[in-house]
Structure 1
Amino acid sequence: MTVSSVLVVGGGIAGVSTVAELRKNGFVGELTLLSADAVPYDRPPLSKDYLAGARDLESIALQPAEWYADQRVSLVGDTVAVAMRPDAGEVELADGQVLTADRIVLATGGRAVLPAIAQVRRDVPAALPTGKRRERPVVSPIHVLREVSDADRLRTSLVPGARLLIVGGGLIGAEVASTARGLGVEVVLVDPLAPPLAAAVGIEVATWLHGLHADHGVEALTTTVETLLESPTGIAAQLKGEPDSREFDAVLLAVGLVPEAGLAEAAGLETSRGILVDADQTTSHPSVLAVGDCSRLRDHHRAEHWEAAQLDGARAAATILGSPPPPATAPWWWSDRYGLHVEGVGEMRSPDAEHQTVVRGVVGEPPFAVFTLRGERLLGAVAVDDANAAKAARRLIDRAADVRASDLADPTQSLRTLLRR
């Protein structure tokens, strides 16, 4: 069937990648991008430069405003989809307008997980219906961080001497802790894992990364929050194992995301911890595809990193065009904290009878890298302030190249030469 029109629902990196790849690879039909914001923007800076006030909204736009007109993309901004009728190729907007297309691509992203903390204020995000992104209170001492409006609200609390509680020590929580300390904020970070991110970077690197918080004046605790109560001076947080509550001016809930699959589920598409898709990003309805954080490849875990969403868009575009998909590649992610740049590729595993950990350099003395080997096959790597090591490791994984542990460990051995063997 010839596809003459495509409607992409969602203006994150997955949605913008889809329309960009379609145009780049020769799609000449009608392209519509539906965005909840006036202009789609990049999310990683929300916990870093944008939150710190070092960048503005225009500078984090995924594409310049004029790009959409240049690429003949009809950008429908500041609205959301409320219903989808796949058999008719229809998407209904909040204002009652109905858009139609031969193919619909869902790029609806995710929303912040709201942990079950008892007795929170009635006006905080945890008490709101899911999906009501524009109905959050303008001012609240309890925050999440998924949208630019979230970052704008949180920034007002990050003044020198303010007291911030961060619930969750993953990538977002750690990045915000770093940003807040740079602004002179007193930070307490809590997470039940000791240390957080061990599954992603290995126990040794995770322990060192988590220790950076204390080095920079953050009180990092291995515990959970039992209650959050409004108090005359802000929020009283009762931490498990402590006799008395602590007072904070603001609280950030940074414990993950939930895929926005409600639109698909209401339309009868198959969902389970996300909109289920095949390898070509097609959902259970043949005319609907799904990409990014809202989607999950059948029998796999969801990938929640920036590049994974971008590649989903490229695969969806290839499916619509009937073209070969982009080549598979090892997953890659990055994070920044306290002036350090961390990159991870592939899969890190703890040492056991089958897996070996190899260190290049010294953990805790950047630049360094840590690798996971199974036999002579590289499975994963994490690098701190060593982008070249991460890039080379990814290529070695993609090529299924045989490598020796001694070569990986030797800082005088160029990893690029291993690619030529």
Structure 2
Amino acid sequence: MVDAHRTFVIVGGGLTGAKAAEALRAEGFTGRVILIGDEREHPYERPPLSKGFLTGSAERGSVFVHEPAWYAAADIELHLGQPAVQLDPESRAVRLGDGTRIHYDKLLLATGAEPRRLEIPGTDLAGVHHLRRLAHAERLRGVLTALGQENGHLVIAGAGWIGLEVAAAARTYGAEVTVIEPEPTPLHSVLGPELGALFADLHREKGVRFHFGARLTRIAGVDGMVQSVYTDDGDEHPAHDVVAAIGAAPRTALAEAAGLETAPGPGGGIAVDASLRTSDPDVFVAGDAAAVRHPLLGRRLRVEHWANALNGGPAAARAMLGKDVSYDRVPYFFSDQYELGMEYSGYAPPGSYDQVVCRGDVGKREFVAFWLSEGRVLAGMNVNVWDVTGPVQDLIRSGAEVDAEALADPGVPLESLGATA
């Protein structure tokens, strides 16, 4: 039976919020748990939206975190299709779009992120898409199917993970694909030029055209439909549809209006400490919107990937219950593009490392890459090589110097490097 004297509210109906609600019950919390989501869908996972669901290899039902009946069985009160529009920390209350006011004893903001918009002429034309929600993916799957059948052209703005995964899906359907990216390689801000070029080669082999060093400046249309796009270097590209994949911005408006501390800089986010607590002791943040003071990395970091949502929600739930929490997980994400599967652990933006070491066969795309600074492993990426994430993360956590030659030698177990470094 639910104890109505304590109420924990979760704002955000995605993976983070659903896993936080699950963790509260698993930890024995018997108070009210209220989950608020601005979509009418039950909480679902986002990676399939640009991977299996988009390509048609996964069904719609596979994306949901729990079966709908689970929430009632776990005594989770759902407010779906109802955005939270105001947070009042002083009275500890959240107001919904329909005027409903909900009191909380502890609050978790799992508001996530939203796609950045192209701020150029022509974005109001039919055929301009974003990919963040299940409805977006359903619509885009139909678009890619039609483009493939009609030999249509898709232009993708942005060669990040979403852009490349959409490109791979589009080529699977048979669509013509052009990717426009201002950096010199795909994934430049994550992998740097050394490994970004590998993904460019992979996609070119599959028929994707790249236009690097350029930005979209205008989308042109006829009768309200996309016809072509223009870049800042004067080029024109044919297009029947355009996907904006230029990143995501944390959804911080609710927190900012309530006076909670936010993180400065382009990454932004809602500032939290290692226990995921905000500047208000009764309000916590997890998932894409959280800018965490990371104990392991020694800096404030906002991570937008699936593993952060999966693990951050339960960590925040434990902190809300007063448990000792230090959220120090190594950042992790994965991607599937054609026959290439990869996992990345760590954090090594360009400028933070001085050496890239690979073990395995890069030409066959079966290898592990490591980004090092002064001999210490900052990040590792395994490409079509499996069951090494644990040892890679152990090397990152150790913070110890490793021998580059041994690191590059597949005959030297990664576990031994971590043990003796």
- TM-score normalised by length of structure 1: 0.88
Structure 1, unpaired ranges of 5+: 125-139
Question: Which residue matches 2:231?
Answer: 239
2:110 aligned with 1:107 = yes
Once the two structures are superposed, residues 137-182 of structure 1 have per-residue CA deviations (whole angstroms, 9 ceiling, x without a partner) of: xxx3000001011112222221211210000000000000000000
1:82 positional shift: 1.5
Question: Which residue matches 1:135?
Answer: none
Partner SS state of residue 75, structure 1: strand
Partner SS state of residue 388, structure 1: coil
State the one-letter code of the partner of 1:167.
A
Question: Which residue matches 1:54?
Answer: 57
Question: Which residue matches 2:376?
Answer: 377
Question: Which residue matches 2:296?
Answer: none
> For 1:165-314, what aligned pairs fall within 5 Å after superposition?
165-222=155-212, 223-232=214-223, 234-243=226-235, 245-272=236-263, 273-297=268-292, 300-314=300-314
2:69 aligned with 1:66 = yes
Partner SS state of residue 246, structure 2: coil
State the one-letter code of the partner of 2:93.
E
Mapped contact 2:332–2:344 kept (Cα < 8 A)? yes
1:237 positional shift: 0.8
Mapped contact 1:205–1:363 kept (Cα < 8 A)? no
In structure 2, relative to structure 1, the CA distance for the partners of 1:190 and 1:93 (3 Å cut) is same
> Which sits farther off after the overlay, 211-220 or 402-411?
402-411
State the one-letter code of the partner of 2:138.
D
2:133 aligned with 1:147 = yes
Once the two structures are superposed, residues 94-137 of structure 1 have per-residue CA deviations (whole angstroms, 9 ceiling, x without a partner) of: 222222220111111111101222x2154x5xxxxxxxxxxxxx
Mapped contact 2:171–2:206 kept (Cα < 8 A)? yes
Hey, what's the Cα distance between the residues in 2 that align with 1:302 and 1:121?
28
Question: Which residue matches 1:162?
Answer: 152
Mapped contact 2:275–2:327 kept (Cα < 8 A)? no
State the one-letter code of the partner of 1:274.
G
Hey, what's the Cα distance between the residues in 1 that align with 2:47 and 2:288?
14
1:327 positional shift: 5.9
Partner SS state of residue 165, structure 1: strand
Mapped contact 2:315–2:327 kept (Cα < 8 A)? no
State the one-letter code of the partner of 2:220.
L
Mapped contact 1:234–1:247 kept (Cα < 8 A)? no
Once the two structures are superposed, residues 330-372 of structure 1 have per-residue CA deviations (whole angstroms, 9 ceiling, x without a partner) of: 21111111221111111336699x8432210132322101112
Mapped contact 2:180–2:210 kept (Cα < 8 A)? yes
Aligned identity (percent) is 34
> For 1:386-401, what aligned pairs fall within 5 Å after superposition?
386-400=385-399
> Which sits farther off after the overlay, 246-255 or 193-202?
193-202
In structure 2, relative to structure 1, the CA distance for the partners of 1:52 and 1:356 (3 Å cut) is closer
- TM-score normalised by length of structure 2: 0.88
Structure 2, unpaired ranges of 5+: 294-298
1:248 positional shift: 1.2
Number of corresponding residues: 401
Once the two structures are superposed, residues 175-206 of structure 1 have per-residue CA deviations (whole angstroms, 9 ceiling, x without a partner) of: 00000000011111010111122342242211
Hey, what's the Cα distance between the residues in 2 that align with 1:242 and 1:215?
26
In structure 2, relative to structure 1, the CA distance for the partners of 1:349 and 1:171 (3 Å cut) is closer
> For 1:70-85, what aligned pairs fall within 5 Å after superposition?
70-85=73-88
In structure 2, relative to structure 1, the CA distance for the partners of 1:43 and 1:374 (3 Å cut) is same
Partner SS state of residue 108, structure 2: strand
